[in-house]
Chains A and B, each alone.
Chain A
Amino acid sequence: MTLFLFIARFLLLCAAVNALQPLPVFAEENPVSAAVLAAQQQRVAAIRQASMAAVSIFAGGQGGGSGVLVSSDGFALTNFHVVQPAGVSMKCGLNDGNVYDAVLVGLDPTGDVSLIKLLGRNDFPFAMLADSDTVRVGDFCFAAGNPFLLATNFQPSISAGIVSGVHRYQYPAGTLLEYADCLQVDAAINPGNSGGALFDAEGGLIGVNGRASFEKRGRINVGVGYAISSNQLRNFVGMLRGGRLCDHATLGATVATSEDGRVVVADILESSDAYRRGLRYDDEIVSIAGRPVRTVNAMKNILGTLPSGWRVPLVLRREGRPIEMLVRLAGVHSPAELALLVEGGGAPADPRQKKQKPLDKDAPQKNPHDDTPESGKKTAQVPDIVKPFYEPRNGFTNYYFNRLERNRVAALIASRGDYAVCKGSWIFSGTLVGGGDFRIELAENFASIDLPTGTTRIDTTGDLDGNPSPPGSGGLLASLVLWRRLLQSGPQSLGRTDYWGTAPLLGVEELCDVLHSTVAAVELQVASSPADGTVRGLELWPSSQDDPCEVRFLDHTSLNQIEMPHRFEVRHGNELFAIFQIRSIEFTEIPSNDEASDRVSFLEPGLEYFTADRSL
């Protein structure tokens, strides 16, 4: 035994002597160049700047994790599995050494994301979302977070590394916590890093860390961590800000790789929108949402980053010919299912994927989110400081924030003109692209449309349920009636109206704010520009069984400083109903000191005029 100790000491001594030998790399004939020092300075500065936005989240004795501020008014992203044990309120420490109260805003359990809001300041430091699709394997990256909850002074731990893989897919546990199209990094991601930021070299936010591959070595990093991509986060952030309980998308079809390597439809639900649009068994999927589908994994990656309810372009190939369609994506869960999963403390264990776990699952689980007002048990636990910012409601995470967003969007839309004064009839006349004239009259108690195929008139004093007039449009008159009501009297005139989130208009254009109204059995979605409130499109379902009538406003004009459409397109199902070119707009009762001629505006003829105008 003595001999063993002696040998051990001797070995230690040898190691110590070895450690004293200077490393050849740092020999004096290799002075550090100015460029290298400058690069280091830049890295230090980027890390210092990015660290300001890092949040340490404490879930009150239930563990905790990390987060990252994304707006000056205190919105911060983190993981669902970090806030799940915390309930609706949590304490957050920032790099400045201060602790802030925070309230839960929105949840995306399928994507393992949640949005919280820190209270008390309007000048929080924050990180900017970068484009995660430009990230390349080998790029420098660093994580800022609170591994092992070490940050007692709230200064984040920084771990640096490279991007090890892009467009990775990590299976969900049950149906929650799916990491699709995620980033893989060798920067150390440990328990407690969950929800924290992954930054690129410039300090741009490229992802939110939340998962790692472990296996035989316990719950410590083995050089394999995963981050939810910033581009996925961008898709959901609108819904999250609206206090929603978000779901991810499914096509309603399963795919398989054929023997010759094509991705083909193996099964399809006849109730899915994809089926209604014409997708069939054995069709080859070429692309979804503009991204190529070469493997089954690629399709999972694409769908896994999209919210339920979005419409995306889909290209299929059948008998060698490509066919394009717009498909509305369904949810992975029904809303009730999702609420149950969240309330039930998360996902059941999935035996398929034991080794890839979200971090921080050691903390005991409890119901984070109980939005049924009648139960009242959770409301009692909400701390006083958070109470003014929390409103439970079925199907939502925190309806207080939905109200805020709805009011914000409604105010923006109202800013496009003093619609309230335009009483009486609104009369639009002009020509149809492809030939023929039209006249649309939206009166106080009726609406009518004259088309070359005939005249249709509906009574607007009662419900508009199931009214698809004029025939073939899917409900154009009802759409325009409700659109006028929204402009003139605001969302409260449309029955129950919620903020839906953001979605690309017709699946192809920039993200729009979307309001969702339920007027008796009719559902209406209004898409407007987040920048200025211009209404860009309407979708109306006369009943839940129908395809919607889709109205897309292509051009706008201004009449007495009131914004009005100049040209719009109407679609129903797979068909284009018509493109309306408005030549004149008349308000029959506009209170004005001016002459009556001002009620009518005759627009210059033709599309060319506006095209030219725009190019100036």
Chain B
Amino acid sequence: MAIALFLAMTTESMALRPEETIASAARKVVKLYGAGGFRGLEAYQSGVLISQEGHVLTVMSTVLDSDQIDCVLDDGTRYVATLVGVDPRRELAVLSLQATDTPFFDSNNIERSPPGTRIFALSNLFGVAVGDERVSAQHGVIATVIPLAARRGAYEAPYRGDVYLLDCTTNNPGSPGGALVDYRGRLIGMLGKELRSSTSGIWISYAIPIDELLPAYRDILDGKSVEPETSSLVVRIDPTVLGVVLLPDLLDKTPPFVESILPDSPAARADVRADDLVVAVGLDSVGSRISMSRALGRVPAGDPIQITVVRNGELIDLDLGPLPDTKKAARQ
């Protein structure tokens, strides 16, 4: 009966029963555990196995900001994953498990799926599956294929390409990096980060088409990726020279939260406030204390320093003026 129903729902698949499709695809989806665990910041997400060499595609997120990223397969096998590289524009990260005998999705001959395609979303949503428990499966339809920035400014994401917009709630905590598969079990997309319109408050469910991600994945494997934070040549500048005192360095990558402002400083004059979260210096997005001090170091001498902070859920641009004379002294 269940089989017949699903046949009734689909026009594109006659090959596999839904439970077979899901069982087969779920073996190629992994549960990832890393940094986080605070309110609104989960320490887990999902990933898809994409190569015979044990490469995993997932989304670039704070979960990966950890010394150890644990990766648990469908059968409960546990690996420690290493970060191969990232593509910040697509918010894509590639991990390696150093394994050769894991199942993986075929990444050849992937075509764009049209609207109306029936899909399953497989992910580690809400972290409910642990150990050898299978990731969660949801069903739905590709509602449309549309650039994420079609309503520019509404959804704050660096990715501007096409996404599969879905008719079901697939983007939950833990879902990012999960697999979007068609009824034949072919990988067609990767579930994106949770995304909420800054104007309407509406959350959307979407996946980035896998064909948008594969070129970046191959570039990363070829060593073409440039992770903004890997270069040690960048000069670091301590933001206290601007009067900004950040939260102490507690984690591997402590986010640049403003703890206090020194009186009569550029920051005080520009109205930077305690509890602001610095998210960008100029056009460089920053995610940690270290990346912020590097970004400050990249600002050409004499140029005004502009930072973007999040305050009460709003993005605010602030101009701190050029670095004061103490700049030279602060250089390391």
Contact = CB atoms under 8 A, between A and B. Distances in A.
Contacts of B115: 23
B245 interface: no
Interface string A34-72: 011011101100100000000000000000000000000
A42 B2 CA distance: 10
B159 interface: no
A170 B128 contact: yes
A46 B168 CA distance: 24
Contact of A39 (B1, B26, B138): B1
Given A294-B132, A295-B76, A297-B133, A223 B1 contact: no
A295 B130 contact: yes
Contacts of A402: none
B319 to A, nearest CB: 28
Given A186-B139, A294-B76, A356-B126, A137 B1 contact: no
Contacts of B139: 161-162, 186
A168 interface: yes
B8 A36 contact: yes
A3 to B, nearest CB: 17
B140 to A, nearest CB: 8
A413 to B, nearest CB: 41
A197 to B, nearest CB: 17
A355 interface: yes
Contacts of B130: 295, 297
Interface in B107-130: 114-116, 120, 125-126, 128-130
Interface stretch (B44-52, B169-177, B267-275, B302-310): B169-177
A464 B18 CA distance: 62
A25 interface: yes
Contact of A213 (B116, B125, B196, B203): B125
A273 B222 CA distance: 61
A223 B138 contact: yes
A184 interface: yes
A23 B4 contact: no
Contacts of B18: 138-140, 162
Contacts of A138: 2, 17-23, 120, 137
Instruction: Please classify how large the interface on chain B is, using the bins under 10, 10 to 19, 20 to 34, 35 or more.
Output: 35 or more
B22 A40 contact: no
Contacts of A170: 128
A271 interface: no
Interface in A164-182: 164-170
Q: Is the interface of A mostly helix, strand, loop or mixed?
A: mixed
A38 B4 contact: yes
A163 B18 CA distance: 11
B223 interface: no
B137 A164 contact: yes
Interface stretch (A214-222, A550-558, A562-570, A585-593): A214-222
B11 A224 contact: no
A202 interface: yes
B247 interface: no
A429 to B, nearest CB: 56
B19 A139 contact: yes
Contact of A140 (B6, B20, B21): B6
A24 interface: yes
B301 interface: no
A202 B1 contact: yes
Nearest to A160: B5
Contact of A222 (B116, B129, B169): B169
A164 B169 CA distance: 13
A275 to B, nearest CB: 27
Nearest to A167: B133
Interface string B6-40: 11100100000111111100100000000000001
20 contacts: A23-B116, A36-B7, A39-B7, A137-B137, A139-B19, A140-B2, A140-B6, A162-B137, A165-B135, A165-B136, A168-B133, A186-B139, A213-B125, A215-B172, A216-B173, A216-B194, A222-B169, A223-B170, A224-B136, A295-B133
Interface of B: 1-2, 4-8, 11, 17-23, 26, 40, 76, 114-116, 120, 125-126, 128-139, 168-170, 172-173, 194, 196, 203
Interface of A: 23-25, 30, 35-36, 38-40, 42-43, 46, 136-140, 161-170, 184, 186, 200-202, 213, 215-217, 221-224, 261, 294-295, 297-298, 355-356
